[in-house]
Amino acid sequence: MLDANKDFEDRNLTVSEEAIEKAINYLKFHDPSNANRDYATGLLKSMQVAANTMADASALNFEDFVDRYNQSLKNKEN
């Protein structure tokens, strides 16, 4: 089971089937049009980058992160 306090410690979430499945499940409810493996993997990769740069932060708001990730994808399209 994923542990919110240790998920980003020495772990490659993009190859963790459990993390990918949980991300897809989250997306099914919060962003159904993007509830697929490729999107979930990209989201997890972005989360790892963000987690590495926010090492001092005590919590990560996943919903806010999804919104920001979606915005970054829109910016790439333009």
Domain extent listing, the chain: 13-77
To the nearest whole percent, how much of the chain has pLDDT over 90? 36
CA-nearest of 67, 59, 75 to 7 is 59
Whether residue 27 is predicted with pLDDT greater than 80 in this model: the reply is yes
Q: Is the pLDDT of residue 8 over 60?
A: no
- Fill in the amino acid letter for 7: D
Is the pLDDT at 3 greater than 90, yes or no? no
Looking at residue 28, its pLDDT comes to: 98
Residue range 25-52: mean pLDDT, rounded: 91
User: How many CB atoms are closer than 10 A to CB 32?
Assistant: 8
The whole-number average pLDDT for the span 19-33 is 95
SS3 label, residue 3 = coil
Can you read off the two tokens belonging to residue 4?
Answer: 């919110």
| pLDDT value of residue 61 | 77
Reported for 56-65, long-range contacts at CB under 8 A and 24+ positions apart, including other chains, are 62/26, 63/30
